[in-house]
């Protein structure tokens, strides 16, 4: 059997070209598809990296805020602890008015004090001034200086300086101080006759410890 192709040569060539173009198009499409996969993955990775960098920046900002809050809370905590310690120190202070009343009651008739100071002479938070000067108050009148408020950390010793008419007066004063129960030790630091006005008296220094 003999087959006769009745199609013109140009038609056959056109069909062959279309077939080749179709195959080429499919090959190019497949190549582009294969190329698009890694490109797409790279794009996704880049987008994820950008997102992660943004998240990192946000976390750093939040961390800075948290650190500032921690610093503020720490400072407030330190302030509160300071106030607590100060309150404890204030509770540990002596009742100076009652203590001076006790010392005044212990003084014999011919014995008097010239200075009273804490030992050491400059407690933490106060100036080096005799305690008697610190306890003086000035009336609150117009034009008059106001009494200064001075915080004195609780001392452990009190130094008393004064004069007694004679030694028995001094010993009586020390005996009263020991008997009052406010001090654990009453020690005579020095005592000796000194000129006072037209006569002489026993100048003394007594150290009281509680």
120 and 198: one domain? Answer: yes
115 and 174: one domain? Answer: yes
Residue where a domain terminates, one of 44, 70, 92: 92
Provide the β-strand partners of residue 112.
Answer: 163
| CATH assignment at residue 110 | 3.30.1360.100
The SS3 call for residue 53 is helix
The CA angle 8-9-12, to the nearest 5 degrees, is 95
pLDDT number for residue 15: 72
pLDDT number for residue 75: 84
Task: Give me the tens of pLDDT residue by residue for the chain, a chain 210 residues long.
Answer: 555 555 567 766 777 777 777 877 777 777 777 777 776 777 777 888 888 888 888 888 888 888 888 888 888 888 877 777 765 655 555 577 888 889 999 999 999 999 998 877 665 554 444 545 544 444 444 554 454 555 545 668 899 999 999 999 999 999 999 998 888 999 999 999 999 888 899 999 999 998
Is residue 71 assigned to a domain? yes
pLDDT number for residue 47: 82
pLDDT number for residue 164: 95
pLDDT number for residue 137: 46
201 and 122: one domain? Answer: yes
183 and 109: one domain? Answer: yes
Whole-number CA gyration radius for the chain: 50
pLDDT number for residue 200: 93
Distance CA 135, CA 127 (A): 13
Tell me how many domains the chain contains.
Answer: 2
109 and 145: one domain? Answer: yes
Residue where a domain terminates, one of 60, 92, 124: 92
Is residue 3 assigned to a domain? no
On the 0-12 / 13-18 / 19+ scale of CB atoms within 10 A, 176 is middle
Give the CB-side neighbour count of residue 190, counting CA atoms within 13 A.
Answer: 8
112 and 197: one domain? Answer: yes
Query: In b/e form, how buried is each residue of 5-32, taking b as 16+ CB within 10 angstroms?
Result: eeeeeeeeeeeeeeeeeeeeeeeeeeee
pLDDT number for residue 206: 96
Is residue 2 assigned to a domain? no
pLDDT number for residue 204: 96
- Expressed as residue numbers, the domain containing 48 is 8-92
Three-state secondary structure readout of 65-132: HHHHHHHHHHHHHHHHHHHHHHHHHHHHCCCHHHHHHHHHHHCCCCEEEEEEEEECCCCCCCCCCCHH
26 and 51: one domain? Answer: yes
């Amino acid at each position: 059997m003999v087959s006769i192709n009745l199609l013109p040569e140009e038609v056959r060539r056109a069909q062959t070209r279309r077939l080749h173009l179709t195959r080429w198009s499919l090959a190019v499409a497949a190549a582009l598809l294969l190329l698009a996969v890694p490109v797409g993955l790279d794009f996704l990775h880049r987008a994820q990296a950008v997102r992660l960098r943004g998240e990192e920046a946000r976390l750093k900002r939040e961390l800075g805020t948290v650190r500032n809050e921690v610093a503020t809370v720490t400072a407030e905590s330190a302030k509160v602890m300071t106030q607590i310690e100060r309150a404890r120190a204030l509770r540990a202070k002596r009742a100076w008015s009652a203590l001076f009343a006790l010392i005044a009651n212990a003084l014999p008739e011919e014995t008097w004090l010239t200075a009273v100071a804490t030992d050491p002479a400059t407690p933490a938070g106060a100036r080096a001034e005799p305690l008697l000067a610190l306890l003086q108050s000035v009336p609150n009148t117009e034009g008059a200086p106001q009494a200064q408020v001075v915080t004195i950390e609780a001392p452990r010793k009190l130094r008393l300086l004064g004069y007694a008419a004679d030694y028995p007066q001094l010993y009586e004063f020390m005996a009263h101080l020991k008997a009052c129960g406010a001090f654990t030790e009453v020690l005579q630091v020095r005592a000796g006759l000194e000129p006072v006005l037209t006569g002489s008296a026993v100048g003394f220094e007594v150290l009281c410890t509680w």
